[in-house]
Structure 1
């Protein structure tokens, strides 16, 4: 009898309650997969007259007494938030298309992650954070393979974990410089290198440069800021390196109507890249590496074409410039592939790919020749957090079992079709609908109109955010589906109608 009971148990639908959330867990004996169905709200629900509500405003005022709280939008009740719906401390329920600045892979309180946290076998990893560079846990190698290397970009089979996106970029750029100087010298650092680096002098502290692109965002730490060119408030008052800044293409939309113009724009930007490499070589500040986003995410959701990135890869190879693709915001699946640069089909992989956000842990993949040749060259106390790898293992499993990348690609097509349709309804307000997967964006004619729209969308139950100066960006979870798109479009249309009527 027992096997029969066991088989019946595996097929039945079980209702579970964890942290106040009900969800359905359906086990399939034929596929050995687990399909979780979150009991999300049927729609957003705003219960306060203003956003933020009174409880949020009180907490913001309290926080402002001990730190600058000017960027705070809301205080959130994370226990009540679920799936694609964010609940604030005032009880307002929002459809969330921002997902913590693109960092929530499966949404709020996903049962697979809750189960991982509740598993007694994982308790040690959650309470004992190790100094990974010297004392990793016994499960670390297996976790790297199952969580990170199983989804590594093609051609990049080595990995370094980090705590966040900015430190991933910082250390990736250090690796670039190590590699370049070893190639330049033809040997490890000399005694003279070791002595002069201590006083910030050459040759131990060489004059090298990293190329970046106007409109880019790579982080707010010191070195990353010299590669960041999106918002002045990030950079003002901070000393910067003399590093080259190239132009990133600025296309006209619809792309098929402006193909000639956009091709010329690609070629103009590519020529500028080569000119800058040669210019900095003449200045004796050679370009050791180039860092670029597949989509300029904070700077305004600017896209580069497949041709543009294919040619950049060739330029980097030609001039012995390391190509670093920054996938902190685009990585982890929102474009319908784990890595946005894979859409470009370059003839060689990038040399380094940085990640964080939806990956739940920071770090970078790299080609074998970029491995540092000495211990402690890439090092800090934590070098990431193994407990995040436990969660990422579950994310990777759910993404694979539920075909979430294929589904997000389909949802993204559906979203973009609706954005183009509503753009045609409001041609004086909306323009340049674009995107890959659900990593979409649409522009407004002025920053003030964009900001006004975002505030009104908040009042209408959609939590969202902007990029660049006048862009509404979409940063959904991987569980975002077509019915969520329908909810957004209905509220977007209502918002635009009210703004049009108030002109």
Structure 2
């Protein structure tokens, strides 16, 4: 049944796309010659990667670097490193490569002479946009706009998308409070970081959430201490995110109780901060807590959270930076919730190639320069997104993601049963999957062993392995991975 769940935007009927066929001209049928399997020549990192890391370390901190990539040799689902090791990539540059490596549709965009100006001249979009920017946005972002959200603002990355979404919410909330735009007193006091121009407002976030590493976003990020330590934080409320048992449909009663407990805490925090004179202007939440451990909640949880936001006059900000653009099998993960009223803001980046946020009309800024920076995104990324969306539609990649996700999750569940001393809590939507490992040391060892057998993966949360393949990941690729993972688990002591 899961295989038939299809995206409102991309797969139900052409009319849902709100496009003319001229908006997506057919591309030449060039094919990416993908490799058949991983091929390892050295352990990872190999000697060339190690030498490059020493050179990089001389000029910047590089302890987080795993290995250096040969992107020109990489193809489709396979990433090649500096030492010629060919690995199947289930991380995809932290969930940000939509069509795999060197996809011909994207190469074609760069090779088209008509696109030269877009790549050579990066405009300050807020004041001097290119003449074709309305067409570019209309034929890409607006085609996949979440239901009920007609406004969109491009940005450079996920963190600045969330940061500016918070600002838009604060502007909206203050305009509601005072019944109009900023007064002279507001303007003057803001220059001194004082009220009323610098209001004491807050954003409610959840334990385990990750929303970026800029200052405002860090106050809403609660996944790892290393992200936050030594950085001043706002006194903003933090609510518990449900800690559920998997699979969700086998533990409905106890999971519902846990979700109710968390929602009660949400409302208590909203009311408590209002009494303290620091009202909650917005609630930010991920459909699946990605960095925090791939933590899920039910559609009912999010529907009730939407109700609480409405009840208390807060904006609901849905952070789809990692879940957006089809990884869960629907274009937007929040489509699974079947909300009566959509989120007020939906932020995006990663697989969308451009950052930004969609928002309701009433959150539109009331003056110039309120949401502003030099670039406010990059038209080249919107141009590439245009091609990505065409391929998603023409190749039915959301349906493919659903099929591949069924194979991947079924395989993880079977391995969990076979290696119950090592794995538990296999979970996921589409190919946006994860499995919990018995302890952090074992998790790290499994990731290292997988890498040296030709699989690029990453951990998340305290001791989980997450899977973030490209949208071109198929059942065949899932089976290649599962075969290798089985051998790694068999060797684990």
Partner of 2:140, secondary structure, is helix
Rg larger for: 1
**TM-score of the pair, normalised by structure 1:** 0.92
2:106 aligned partner:
113
Deviation at 1:66, TM superposition (A): 0.8
Stretches of structure 1 lacking an aligned partner (at least 5 in a row): 1-30
1:38 aligned partner:
32
Task: Tell whether 2:133 aligns with 1:131.
Answer: no
1:354 aligned partner:
347
1:485 aligned partner:
478
CA distance in 1, matches of 2:455, 2:197: 53
Contact 1:433-1:440 within 8 A present in 2 as well: yes
Deviation at 1:107, TM superposition (A): 0.4
Deviations 1:243-264 (A, max 9, x none): 0000111101232332211010
Partner of 2:322, secondary structure, is coil
Partner of 2:139, secondary structure, is helix
Contact 1:33-1:401 within 8 A present in 2 as well: no
CA distance in 2, matches of 1:355, 1:464: 22
**TM-score of the pair, normalised by structure 2:** 0.94
1:64 alignment partner, one of 29, 32, 57: 57
Contact 1:355-1:364 within 8 A present in 2 as well: yes
Deviations 1:158-212 (A, max 9, x none): 1000000000000000000000000000011111001000000000001001000
Contact 2:285-2:318 within 8 A present in 1 as well: yes
Partner of 1:431, secondary structure, is strand
CA distance in 2, matches of 1:36, 1:280: 57
1:412 aligned partner:
405
Contact 1:34-1:401 within 8 A present in 2 as well: no
1:449 alignment partner, one of 442, 448, 454: 442
1:282 alignment partner, one of 248, 252, 275: 275
Deviations 1:377-397 (A, max 9, x none): 000000000011111100000
Identify if the C-alpha distance between structure 1 residues 417 and 35 changes in structure 2 by more than 3 Å, giving closer, same or farther.
farther
Deviation at 1:445, TM superposition (A): 1.1
1:463 aligned partner:
456
2:332 aligned partner:
339
1:267 aligned partner:
260
CA distance in 1, matches of 2:97, 2:251: 35
Deviations 1:53-89 (A, max 9, x none): 0000000011011111100001000000010000001
Deviations 1:36-60 (A, max 9, x none): 5421111000001x21000000000
CA distance in 1, matches of 2:112, 2:382: 14
Higher relative contact order (CA 8 A, sep 6+): 2
Contact 2:329-2:401 within 8 A present in 1 as well: yes
Task: Tell whether 2:193 aligns with 1:183.
Answer: no
Deviation at 1:32, TM superposition (A): 5.5
Stretches of structure 2 lacking an aligned partner (at least 5 in a row): 1-24
What number of residue pairs does the alignment pair up? 469
Partner of 2:73, secondary structure, is coil
1:235 aligned partner:
228
Contact 2:32-2:102 within 8 A present in 1 as well: no
1:160 aligned partner:
153
CA distance in 1, matches of 2:454, 2:207: 34
2:12 aligned partner:
none
Partner of 1:496, secondary structure, is helix
Contact 2:459-2:466 within 8 A present in 1 as well: yes
1:144 alignment partner, one of 133, 137, 144: 137
Partner of 2:422, secondary structure, is coil
1:88 aligned partner:
81
Contact 2:27-2:105 within 8 A present in 1 as well: no
CA distance in 2, matches of 1:400, 1:472: 30
1:15 aligned partner:
none
1:294 aligned partner:
287
User: What is the Cα-based RMSD across aligned positions, in Å?
Assistant: 1.0
Deviation at 1:35, TM superposition (A): 5.0
CA distance in 1, matches of 2:337, 2:247: 19
1:327 alignment partner, one of 317, 320, 323: 320
Deviation at 1:487, TM superposition (A): 0.6
1:172 aligned partner:
165
Deviation at 1:360, TM superposition (A): 0.4
CA distance in 1, matches of 2:393, 2:75: 21
Partner of 2:282, secondary structure, is strand
Partner of 2:258, secondary structure, is helix
